[in-house]
């Protein structure tokens, strides 16, 4: 296969600084940022992505181009392709897997429920089936989600809080992923670390997310919907900037212990961990919009509507004490500074002529 030639003839996936990491979802938002960060610090990285069209695949191709400039290769394939995954592990002795490929998005689960089951449940199981059989087993860090807290009313959310009331099928598949991880850890001694990300945003972000399409709609003069809860309270999110999340992912990889392996060779309990990676500071959606209005110097056409029953939860708020204790995770970017960087990227990427264009001439492609 083309990828095999590429991989065998490049130094890309080889271990440079100790790690050789398979990044699934590498053409995605968080995966592309993490791949670049790993590569920049000297680790070997190989990507896997199916380039599906859940959102505009041109953006995924643009991220792929950026990664290829940094000698990071992305194999085009699906998590559910067992022989392909086995072959990847045959060719490259991965020490770690950063598993970010998934069907993301909360509201789309009402339109296409099966895509969540296929990628987030069947695809995850397929990856674990392959990884458990590799010797030595790689340590796996995977993306869970703040959505597992569902209709939780504790505030802020701690890892020990209940997660038995998912509000969307997306949340249910992410919660299922955590249960599945538990069984693979228990039976096969796989080292597994789940990261519950909280509404991540930033440059190269996802066009299906509110901050992204609000920016587009505000610039095009189109109306936007701002949700309020049934009892007319503001809906809020613990929006987390991508660079903070990347640091958290690397910290989780760095502290992941090796697997113990299965059967009689088992030496001790392998690691199973779950962490919140949030910003610890929830912001109402209305405030997100007013920050964007300021940055874009344009008034939004706002429709404040009662939150439809669409899978959204009223608010999210992370307690990150555990991630701080175990790998020094500390979010440092507030929403206004992070959105400024996003808008700078947005106007540059889409070539929008505005007073911002001048400011962005020296845009750093990897920022
Ligand atoms: P993304 O959609 O940009 O990235 C996911 C990538 O995985 C995409 O490029 C997609 O093509 C690929 N993919 C999907 N299904 C696949 C499959 N079956 N086989 C191979 N590739 C597949 O999303 P993201 O925002 O970068 O999210 C990364 C991970 O973090 C996901 O697991 C998501 O559920 C989780 N997460 C994201 C957020 C957020 O706010 N961005 C919050 C919580 C959790
Ligand atoms: C985001 C991601 O899309 C999920 O993949 C991820 O798992 C989740 O974060 C998470 O933290 O686990 P969400 O918070 O719903 O999900 O992100 P957006 O779709 O960008 O919505 C942000 C906020 O804007 C939400 O409070 C939502 O209710 C609100 N919103 C959305 C509106 O007010 N109007 C809209 O038209 C759309």
- Residue of the CA atom closest to atom 9 of ligand 2: 199
* 66 Cα: distance to centroid of ligand 2 (angstroms): 27
Which residues 6+ apart lie within 8 Å of 83 measured at CB?
none
Cα–Cα distance measured from residue 47 to residue 67, given in angstroms and rounded to the nearest whole number: 9
DSSP state of 234: B
d(CA 289, CA 218): 9
| Superfamily (CATH H level) for 102-202+241-280+315-332 | NAD(P)-binding Rossmann-like Domain (3.40.50.720)
Separation of first and last alpha carbons in the chain: 33
Task: Please tell me the distance from the alpha carbon of residue 173 to that of residue 148, in angstroms, as a whole number.
Answer: 9
| Residue from 54, 48, 104 nearest 79 by CA | 48
Is the ipTM higher than 0.95? The answer is yes
- Total residue count of the chain as it appears in this document: 367
CA–CA gap between residue 102 and residue 117 (Å, rounded): 10
Distance, in Å, from the CA atom of 331 to the CA atom of 245, rounded to the nearest integer, reads: 8
Cα(332)–Cα(244) distance, integer angstroms: 7
As a whole number of angstroms, the distance between CA 346 and CA 174 comes to: 29
Interatomic CA distance for residues 132 and 261, integer angstroms:
8
d(CA 31, ligand 1 centre) in Å: 8
Give ligand 2 pocket residues (Cβ under 6 A).
104-106, 145-147, 197-199, 209-211, 225-227, 235, 237, 285, 312, 316
The residues pairing with 157 across neighbouring beta strands, listed in sequence order, are 318
Q: What is d(CA 170, CA 104) in angstroms, rounded to the nearest whole number?
A: 7
Q: In Å, how far are 97, 106, 215, 227 from 301, measured between CA atoms?
A: 43, 24, 12, 14
**With contact defined as beta carbons under 8 Å apart, do 14 and 42 qualify?**
no
Q: Residue 188 and residue 262: Cα distance in Å, rounded?
A: 4
Look at residues 226, 333, 224 and name the one whose alpha carbon lies nearest to residue 277. Answer: 333
Over its length of 367 residues, how does the chain's per-residue pLDDT go in tens digits? Answer: 777 877 776 555 554 457 899 999 999 999 999 999 999 999 999 999 999 999 999 999 999 999 999 999 999 999 999 999 999 999 999 999 999 999 999 999 999 999 999 999 999 999 999 999 999 999 999 999 999 999 988 899 999 999 999 999 999 999 999 999 999 999 999 999 999 999 999 999 999 999 999 999 999 999 999 999 989 999 999 999 999 999 999 999 999 988 776 544 555 568 999 999 999 999 999 999 999 999 999 999 999 999 989 999 999 999 999 999 999 999 999 999 999 999 999 999 999 875 544 444 333 444 4
Q: Phi, psi at residue 47, to the nearest 5°?
A: -100, 160
Active site residues per annotation:
170
pLDDT of residue 268: 58
Q: Give the whole-angstrom CA distance, residue 343 versus residue 108.
A: 25
CB contact set of 328 (below 8 Å; sequence gap of 6+): 251
- 29 Cα–ligand 1 center, Å: 7
Residue spans of the domains in the chain: they are: 102-202+241-280+315-332
Contact by Cβ (8 Å): 107, 54 = no
pLDDT the model gives residue 232: 93
Ligand 1 near 33 CB (within 6 A) = no
Q: Are 235 and 228 in contact (CB under 8 A)?
A: yes
How many angstroms does the Cα of residue 234 sit away from the middle of ligand 1?
Answer: 27
CB-based contact 38:11 (threshold 8 Å): no
Quick one: pLDDT at residue 366?
43
- Distance between CA atoms of 33 and 38, rounded to whole angstroms? 9
Mutation test of ligand 2: which of 30, 106, 287 has the most ligand atoms closer than 8 Å to its C-beta? 106
**C-alpha angle with apex 167: 247 to 56, nearest 5 degrees?**
60
CA–centroid distance for 154 within its chain: 24
Six token digits for residue 205:
């972000």
Best mutation site among 54, 67, 81, 102 for ligand 1 pocket (most ligand atoms within 8 Å of CB)? 102
Nearest bound ligand to CA 245? 1
């Amino acid at each position: 296969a083309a990828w095999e030639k590429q991989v065998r003839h490049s130094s890309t996936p080889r271990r440079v600084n100790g790690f050789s990491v398979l990044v699934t979802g590498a053409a995605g938002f968080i995966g592309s940022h993490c791949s670049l960060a790993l590569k920049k610090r000297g680790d070997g990285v190989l990507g896997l992505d199916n380039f599906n069209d859940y959102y505009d695949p041109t953006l995924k191709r643009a991220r792929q181009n950026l990664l290829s400039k940094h000698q990071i290769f992305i194999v085009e394939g699906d998590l559910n392709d067992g022989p392909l995954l086995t072959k990847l592990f045959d060719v490259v002795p991965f020490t770690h897997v950063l598993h970010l490929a998934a069907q993301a998005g909360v509201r789309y689960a009402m339109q296409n429920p099966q895509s969540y089951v296929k990628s987030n449940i069947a695809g995850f199981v397929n990856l674990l089936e392959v990884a458990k059989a590799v010797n030595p087993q790689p340590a796996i860090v995977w993306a869970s989600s703040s959505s597992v807290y569902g209709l939780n009313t504790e505030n802020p959310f701690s890892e020990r809080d209940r997660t038995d009331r998912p509000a969307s099928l997306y949340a249910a598949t992410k919660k299922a992923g955590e249960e599945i991880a538990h069984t693979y850890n228990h039976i096969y001694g796989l080292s597994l670390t789940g990261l519950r990300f909280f509404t991540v945003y930033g440059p190269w972000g996802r066009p299906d997310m509110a901050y992204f399409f609000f920016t587009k709609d505000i610039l095009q003069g189109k109306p936007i919907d701002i949700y309020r809860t049934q009892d007319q309270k503001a809906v809020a999110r613990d929006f987390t900037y991508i660079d903070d999340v990347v640091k958290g992912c690397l910290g989780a990889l760095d502290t992941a212990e090796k697997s113990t392996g299965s059967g009689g060779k088992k030496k001790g309990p392998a690691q199973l961990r779950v962490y919140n990676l949030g910003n610890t500071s929830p912001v109402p959606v209305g405030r997100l919009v007013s920050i964007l209005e300021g940055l874009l110097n344009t008034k939004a056409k706002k429709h404040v509507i009662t939150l439809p029953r669409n899978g959204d939860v009223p608010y999210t708020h992370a307690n990150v004490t555990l991630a701080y204790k175990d790998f020094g995770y500390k979010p440092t970017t507030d929403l206004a500074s992070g959105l400024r960087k996003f808008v700078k990227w947005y106007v540059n990427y889409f070539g929008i002529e505005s007073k911002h264009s001048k400011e962005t001439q020296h845009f750093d492609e990897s920022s």
